[in-house]
Amino acid sequence: MNQSKVVLFMKGSPDVPRCGFSRKICGLLRDQKIEFSHFDILTDESVRQGILVSRALAVTFTKILTSGLKKLNDWPTFPQLVVKGEFVGGLDIVQEMVDNGEVNQLISSA
């Protein structure tokens, strides 16, 4: 959660999002000119290559990983936005923050 100032845990990547919610939040962040890194919760090559040996295990690990982030942040869905190591919210929260101008204050104060 601390790989950069702003981290988006999402399905896919900003260039190839794998769900509509991830696509939407990436668009919001880009429109606001917010630089962010991302973590694709669906795939992680180092985990697949280093630990997991079958597709069934990869699916199980993905469920454990996403369940862990859901519990850690107490948020049931993805994407999840983290700023300076602190969970901000999902798409609906970020959309609201963009609409009322809070997102720029959050990013500039971080």
- 8 A C-beta contact, residue 32 and residue 104: yes
Q: Is residue 90 part of a domain?
A: yes
pTM: predicted TM-score of the whole model, two decimal places:
0.75
Tell whether 1 is covered by a domain: no
Instruction: Identify whether 35 is part of a domain.
Output: yes
Digit-coded pLDDT (tens) for 83-101: 988 899 999 999 999 999 9
In a domain, 53, yes or no: yes
Q: DSSP E strands: which ranges in 1-99?
A: 6-10, 37-40, 80-83, 86-89
Is there a domain that residue 91 lies in?
yes
Question: Token digits for 85?
Answer: 């190591």
CATH number of domain containing 100: 3.40.30.10
A 10 A CB-CB count for 95 gives 15
Distances in Å between the alpha carbon of 5 and those of 61, 87, 107, 108?
Answer: 26, 12, 8, 10
Number of separate domains in the chain: 1
List the domain range (segments joined by +) for residue 15. Answer: 6-109
User: What pLDDT, in 10s, does the model give residues 12-25?
Assistant: 999 999 999 999 99
Cα 33–Cα 110–Cα 22 angle in degrees, nearest 5: 45
